[in-house]
Amino acid sequence: MMRLGMYGLGRMGANMVRRLARGGIEVVAHNRSRAPIDELVASEPGVQPAYSLDALIAGLPSPRIVWLMLPAGEITEQAITEILPRLAEGDLLIDGGNSFYQDTIRRAARVQAAGVQYMDVGTSGGVWGLKNGYSLMFGGSAAAAEMIRPAIEVLAPAADKGWGHVGPVGSGHFTKMIHNGIEYGMMQALAEGLAVLRAKKEFDLDLAQITELWRDGSVVQSWLLDLTAEALAAQGQALSHIAPVVADSGEGRWTATEAINLGVPAPVMTLALQMRFASQDAEGYPNRLLSLMRNAFGGHAITPQ
């Protein structure tokens, strides 16, 4: 029987614990705040709560496996700083969040210098992962990959698909970063195409019907299309209850920067990121300037605020 510790019980982390527990993996669960631990233990009685890092470590057999599912950046950095002195040689520390791959490589050197193994697991699946399984792309040594394999096979859609040891430390997060950049482009293309369909008012097209029929036999069929079709059918196509603001996460920015650094043309992913920036611009200052310049050289009318 495998037992591991999960630190970070947000939407992804908590559902991963549930899937692991239901698949026969023993999990010791820790979180920075108490409420998510209590909620998880109440719904999954087989999960062992750990209300401190010391309790988390004490609840694990040697060699210990600790899996972090924390926000990228300083929170993950601090967690590693706190956990590392509590681990012993041969233990395994996993970062399953969306860390920047260069941070992962730097952290791995620090962790491995202490004799502790380190892995990065790029994880995709969102809120549907509990039911459908997660896509898992991980980097690290062959020994570390074998050590975590039973849990990977439970978390994945099936024991033989949806996961892979893609390379050395850092490669898992790098692969996930590019995955998310591709996701930006796919989402943008679907959104633009549906917007053009809706703009053709004389046809009075039903976007829920069209996206539904595209789900079968179409070259654009995808999980994103499935989710879009279901959402349009449930919420209608006016979407007047949704503000036209789209957040961006670090992965899209990192992907665009990496493409520039490598000299690889990636206009679709980069433009999709820029469109998200445009949606977040409540002030609209560049467009105000454009209107001003157009008026200055051509006398075109300015639309007052």
Report d(CA 234, CA 249) in Å as an integer.
Answer: 27
List 26, 44, 183, 230, catalytic entry: 183
Half-sphere exposure of 63 (CA within 13 A, CB side): 14
**Residue 146 is among the residues annotated as catalytic for this protein:** no
**Residue 201 is among the residues annotated as catalytic for this protein:** no
Rounded (to 5) percent helix, strand, coil in the chain: 55, 15, 30
Report d(CA 41, CA 47) in Å as an integer.
Answer: 6
What does 115-155 look like in DSSP terms, one character per residue? T-EEEEEEEE-GGGHHHH--EEEEES-HHHHHHHHHHHHHH
List 176, 212, 251, 283, catalytic entry: 176
What does 31-75 look like in DSSP terms, one character per residue? -SSSHHHHHHHHH-TTSEE-SSHHHHHHTSPSSPEEEE---TTHH
Cα 144–chain centre separation = 22
Return the active site residues. 176, 183
